[in-house]
Amino acid sequence: MSDATARATRHAGVTDRSTLLGALMLAPAIVYIVALVGIPFLLAIGLSLSNATVGDPGFHTFVGFKNFERVLNDPAFPVALRNSILVTLATLVITIILATAESELFARNFRFKRFWQIIIILPWAMPVSLAAVNWLWLLDSQFSPVDWILVKTGLLGPGGVWGPARHLYYYGREWLGLGSLTLINVWRLLPLATIIVLAGRTSIPHEVFEQAQVDGAGFFRVLFRITVPALMPILVVVTMFTALMVFGDMALIAMTTHGGPGHSTQLIPYLAYVKGVEGGALSEGAAVALFMFPILLAAAIGALRFASRSESN
């Protein structure tokens, strides 16, 4: 009897009954997720129905839907909801177009590919809050090099198309602020999106492209007739990851616009943070945060149905 079989017989009691082994292997993850996602999720619902504060975090009083009512009556909430949806959708559209284009480049072989890979993965390697600080300085109200270039090219400053001011004040205006948030999100999520699209792009069989070339199809024809349809299922995965990363993030806004001026660039997650932690109203913060779940759920179900339909086609 070999060493392996000897050990196998000794362990046979537990490990050959695969259902028991299956349960044992699954249990730690389930227990962990129930304890730190499941129960807190229920607690979040409980919190939103109570009047807990940071100073008094117990669930002493049940107040029903009062917190939700208060949130819905808060003029900041609809603005935050609109902004969250707009920034997420804009980021998604731009990221998916750019990621598809970028994957078209990186699916080829070219010189010093590793070097270019390191360059384009850079934004993803930067921890979010440091990236936000980086962009805060890049689009600074006084010393932004972008403004400097615009002034030098005559677009900004006295006599420029964009007015006599020498600065655009990116984080101090509603639409420019939201646009900047979108741009930073695209910048930081493009590397991951490109990697995921490339996973789909490089698994399309070569013969498909070779055949198209034999048939004399041009680059754009191949792209829209062959590549993009074949990428559909993976684009759904990209959509879900990107949407989640943008919709749930508050680090960018916490470092840059702080939701201002006023609440004009406010986003849902930051509103929850401002109310729950900085304002001390745990219950109201939880109510704001809970509004995210149905939106994410609906988006996920939509994306998955779309994916299963395009897969069966």
Partner 1 sequence: MNLAIKKRLRRLGFWLGMLFFAAFAIFPTVWMLISAFKQNADLYNAANNPFLFNLPPTLKHITFLFTNTDFSVFLWNSVLIGVMVVIITLLLAVPAAYSLSRLVGRWGERSGIAVFLVYLIPPTLLFLPLYQVISLLRAANTIWALVLVYPTITVPFCTWLLLGFFKSMPREMEEAALIDGYSRWQAFLKVSLPLAWPGIATCVVFAFALSLSDYIYAASFVSETASRPLNSGVPTALIRGDIYFWQSLMAAAAIVTIPLAIGYGLLFDKLIQGFQPEAAS
216 binds partner 1 (CB under 8 A): no
**Which of these ranges, 75-83, 192-200, 207-215, 258-266, lies near partner 1 under the rule CB under 8 A?**
192-200
Rule CB under 8 A: say whether 224 interacts with partner 1: no
Q: How far is the CB of 125 from partner 1 (least distance, A)?
A: 4
In the region spanning residues 70 to 89, those forming contacts with partner 1, defined by CB under 8 A, are none
Binding residues for partner 1 restricted to 2-21, rule: CB under 8 A: 2, 4-5, 7-8, 11-12, 15-16, 18-19, 21
Q: Which of 232, 251, 280, 306 binds partner 1 (CB under 8 A)?
A: 251
Does 97 interact with partner 1 (rule: CB under 8 A)? no
**Residue 101 within binding range of partner 1, rule CB under 8 A:** yes
Q: Which is nearer to partner 1, 65 or 293 (CB)?
A: 293
Looking up tokens 């024809």 gives 221
Least separation in angstroms between CB 278 and partner 1? 10
Establish if 165 lies at the interface with partner 1 (CB under 8 A): no
For 217, how many CA atoms within 13 A lie in the half-sphere containing its CB?
Answer: 16
Cα–Cα distance, 118 to 113 (Å, whole number): 9
Applying CB under 8 A, what is the total number of residues that bind partner 1?
103
Alpha carbons 56 and 59: distance in angstroms, whole number? 9
Beta carbon of residue 69, minimum distance to partner 1 (angstroms, whole number): 19
- β-strand partners of 50: 62
Binding residues for partner 1 restricted to 272-291, rule: CB under 8 A: 272-273, 276-277, 282, 285-286, 289-290
Nearest to 185 by CA among 90, 292, 116: 90
Q: Measured between alpha carbons, how far is 236 from 134 in angstroms, rounded to an integer?
A: 30
Identify residues 105-164 at the interface with partner 1 (CB under 8 A): 105, 108, 110, 114, 116-131, 133-135, 137-138, 142-143, 145, 148
Q: How far apart are CA 152 and CA 158, in angstroms?
A: 11
Choice from 53, 155, 237, 279 touching partner 1 (CB under 8 A): 237
Which H, E and C letters describe 196-241, residue by residue? HHHHHHCCCCHHHHHHHHHCCCCHHHHHHHHHHHHHHHHHHHHHHH
Residue 75 Cβ vs partner 1, minimum distance, rounded to whole Å: 21
Distance CA 54, CA 52 (A): 7
Q: Does residue 210 bind partner 1 (CB under 8 A)?
A: no
Question: Does 60 interact with partner 1 (rule: CB under 8 A)?
Answer: no
Does 171 engage in binding with partner 1 (CB under 8 A)?
no
Segment interacting with partner 1 (CB under 8 A) among 69-77, 172-180, 222-230, 268-276: 268-276
**At CA 248, angle to CA 246 and CA 249, rounded to 5?**
65
Residue 180 is given by DSSP the state H
Within a 10 A sphere around the Cβ of 163, how many other Cβ atoms?
13
Cα 297 from Cα 223, distance rounded (Å): 31
CA trace torsion 196, 197, 199, 202 (10° rounding)? -160
